Amino acid sequence: MAPTPAAQALHHARRAIPPFALLTTRALTTRALTVNDTQKVTLGVIGAYVVAIALLWNIPYVRGILWPFKMLVIAFHEFGHALAACCTGGRVKSISLDPNEGGVTHMLGGKQAITLPAGYLGSSLVGALLIFCGFNVVASKVASIVLGVCFLVTLWWARKDWLTYLTIGLAVGLLVACWFIAHAQALRFVVVCITFTRSLCESNY
């Protein structure tokens, strides 16, 4: 029995499609959107962090537990201002953190249209990237190195400010210690914790 014109047209259409395109199409159609065990644990930790941080933030006398993380977020916020100033031709004089959960970056020059929103925009972008890094140990290691470098640069600008020195020193020490805990698995959870504390801090300042 001779093939029908419609069957012949379909056969020619299939031959016209490159082989790699057919393989890609088959892979996309057969691939299931499943969550592996690592992703399940990470999502569970994220949910626990959201609940715990939201509760600690609003409970009097207990919210002080979050104070070191708040200061760390503020330090990174100020680093965003300082980096934007350097990238737009300005010069950073100093960075200071306040015990009452505030911070200030003293700088000369630069473009204010970029330096002023850089604290929020920069930390938001970094926070989004850290969420993705929290799902993978290698990505978390890379993120911890980048964070450590940013914190140390902030430390360079923090002239004679003991609180900034203490906050950043503890943060870098925590990141280094997590490299040696459970084959750096703890590093993923620290990265995620910093991310969600940053989100809550930025939304309340």
Residue 104 pairs with which residues in a beta bridge? 96
Dihedral angle sign, alpha carbons of residues 105, 74, 130, 187: positive
Q: Is residue 4 part of a domain?
A: no
Q: Is the pLDDT of residue 24 over 80?
A: no
Q: Is residue 121 part of a domain?
A: yes
Q: Is residue 17 part of a domain?
A: no
Q: Is residue 61 part of a domain?
A: yes
pLDDT at 3: 53
Of the CA atoms within 13 Å of residue 68, those in its CB half-sphere come to: 12
pLDDT digits (tens, 9 = 90+) for 170-193: 888 888 888 888 788 888 888 877
Distance CA 25, CA 80 (A): 43
pLDDT digits (tens, 9 = 90+) for 58-112: 777 777 777 777 777 787 788 888 888 888 988 888 888 777 767 888 888 888 8
Closest Cα partner for 194 from 45, 35, 40?
45
pLDDT digits (tens, 9 = 90+) for 101-154: 678 888 888 888 888 888 888 777 777 787 788 888 888 888 888 888 887 877
Q: Is 52 exposed, middle or buried (0-12, 13-18, 19+ CB in 10 A)?
A: middle
Q: Is the pLDDT of residue 162 over 60?
A: yes
In the chain, the number of structural domains is 1
pTM of the model: 0.65
Secondary structure (3-state) at 7: helix
pLDDT band per the 50, 70, 90 thresholds, residue 26:
low
pLDDT at 50: 79
pLDDT band per the 50, 70, 90 thresholds, residue 20:
very low
Q: Are 168 and 156 in contact (CB under 8 A)?
A: no
Residue 96 pairs with which residues in a beta bridge? 104
Q: What is the 3-state secondary structure (H, E, C) of 107-147?
A: EECCCHHHHHHHHHHHHHHHHHHHHHHCCCHHHHHHHHHHH
Region label for 160, one of left (φ > 0), alpha (ψ between -120 and 50) or beta (otherwise): left
Q: Is residue 31 part of a domain?
A: no
Q: Is residue 151 part of a domain?
A: yes
pLDDT band per the 50, 70, 90 thresholds, residue 31:
low
pLDDT at 10: 44
Distance CA 42, CA 132 (A): 10
Residue with tokens 């084959």: 183
Q: Which domain holds residue 110?
A: 37-203
Q: Are 194 and 101 in contact (CB under 8 A)?
A: no
Q: Is residue 168 part of a domain?
A: yes
Q: Is residue 19 part of a domain?
A: no
